[in-house]
Amino acid sequence: MERNHIVEGGMTLANARQNGVAGLEGWCGCGHHAVVPIGPVIERLGPARSIPSIMLTCSRCGARVRARPDWSEAKAQGKPDLRPRPQQKDGGVGHG
Ligand SMILES: [Zn+2]
């Protein structure tokens, strides 16, 4: 699989884990915030499940909350970012 097209907010569980995401988080309107580990979620729903289609239930008020990838772990790991290298010019244009 060469395609590695990651759409913000539309990634699958497998994609998220590949990118270092260790859990899913949900923010409820009541102010409750919860994080669930991604491993058991993948076992239950399958790796191809897209994260925005997953709904978590708030344990405080019972509302349904859309799951989001929890990037805090991935950021803590300090993934190397890819930067474009400065182009080197071939010198040596003499005058003559
Ligand atoms: Zn709530």
∠ CA 1-51-14, nearest 5°, is 30
Task: Return the amino acid letter for 42.
Answer: I
In this predicted structure, the answer to whether residue 39 has a pLDDT above a threshold of 60 is: yes
- Identity of the amino acid at 69: P
Greater pLDDT, 96 or 35: 35
46-67 tens-digit pLDDT: 999 999 999 999 999 999 999 9
Calculate how far, in angstroms, residue 66's C-alpha sits from the geometric centre of ligand 1: 12
Give Rg (Cα) of the chain.
21
Beta-carbon contacts of residue 27 (< 8 Å; ≥ 6 apart): 33, 65, 68
pLDDT above 60 (res 35):
yes
Q: How far is the CA of 57 from the centre of ligand 1 (A)?
A: 8
pLDDT at 30: 97
CA of 80 to the centre of ligand 1 (A): 36
pLDDT digits (tens, 9 = 90+) for 23-33: 999 999 999 99
